[in-house]
Structure 1
Amino acid sequence: MEHSEPHSPGLIGSLAGVAKNSLRLVLSRVELAALELSEMRNHLVQLAVLFALAVLAAWFAIAFGTATLIYLVWEALGWKILLILAVVFAIVAVVLIMSIKKLILQGKLALTATMAELKADRDALL
């Protein structure tokens, strides 16, 4: 009975194996990126709808509240109430912009898992 050692694939076989594994790696990264992009798209749609509804409700509240406030205090303050309201609305706008900036800086709209995997792949190859 002959005992044969496993046959080594040679240079061409090794290169084909490396190419096949590289292609599998690229495909898995593309699938991960596609999955994260679909999740991000869903979050962006949800954020856009909620933002639109909030803006609409805020406009109605601001319009009716401002009209009521101006009507009630016009006798006492006159034109000064318009200046006071302008300052209040400017402060509210700054607070809202800071909140939006904070949301963006938290990285919830980034492809964190995909970027981590690509960095790990780059480190492994280099």
Structure 2
Amino acid sequence: MEHSEHTEPRAPGLIGSLSGLVKNALRLVLSRLELALAELSEARDHLIRLAVLFALSILAAWFAIAFGTATLVFLLWDALGWKILLILAVVFVVIAYLLVKAAMAKVRNGSLALPATMAELKADRDMLL
């Protein structure tokens, strides 16, 4: 009997199938990790820009508040006396409360989430389960 060199490829066994499954799972995990890292890098860049803009706007707001308050106190001191200080304090407390409330709403609506990564992970979970 002659042994032919062109034999039909055998179907992979259990070990071959498990090996293929592990390779595919690792590729899937690596691709999701790369996506998450790309999104985190993008989010980091946005946070840095946001922090710089926020710091500059806070500085400008402090100057505006200081000069505006000094002007109001100077103009209204004769008419209201110390009461103008109390009125301004109440106004600033209300403004601060509204700003904190707006910032908390932004955080709660998921602005800092990773939407593409989370959607892909959910799709992967749904496919596997």
TM-score over 0.5 for the pair = yes
- Whether 1:75 aligns to 2:72 is no
Which of the numbers 34, 43, 48 marks the counterpart of 1:45? 48
Tell me, which stretches of 5 or more residues in structure 1 are unaligned?
A: none
Which of the numbers 84, 102, 106 marks the counterpart of 1:103? 106
Post-superposition CA distance 1:76-118 (Å, at most 9, x none)? 0001101100111011101211221122123121111111211
- Whether 1:61 aligns to 2:58 is no
Measure, in 1, the Cα distance between the counterparts of 2:42 and 2:98: 28
The count of aligned residue pairs is 124
Q: Report the identity percentage.
A: 69
State the one-letter code of the partner of 1:89. Answer: F
State the one-letter code of the partner of 1:117. Answer: E
**Under a length normalisation based on structure 2, what TM-score does the superposition of the two structures give?**
0.89
* RMSD (Å), alpha carbons: 1.5
Question: How far has the Cα of 1:46 moved from its partner?
Answer: 1.0
Measure, in 2, the Cα distance between the counterparts of 1:107 and 1:4: 58
Query: Whose radius of gyration is greater, 1 or 2?
Result: 2
What secondary structure is seen at the aligned counterpart in 2 of 1:75? helix
Which of the numbers 22, 35, 48 marks the counterpart of 1:32? 35
**Under a length normalisation based on structure 1, what TM-score does the superposition of the two structures give?**
0.91
Question: How far has the Cα of 1:121 moved from its partner?
Answer: 1.5
Measure, in 2, the Cα distance between the counterparts of 1:44 and 1:106: 16
Tell me, which stretches of 5 or more residues in structure 2 are unaligned?
A: 1-5
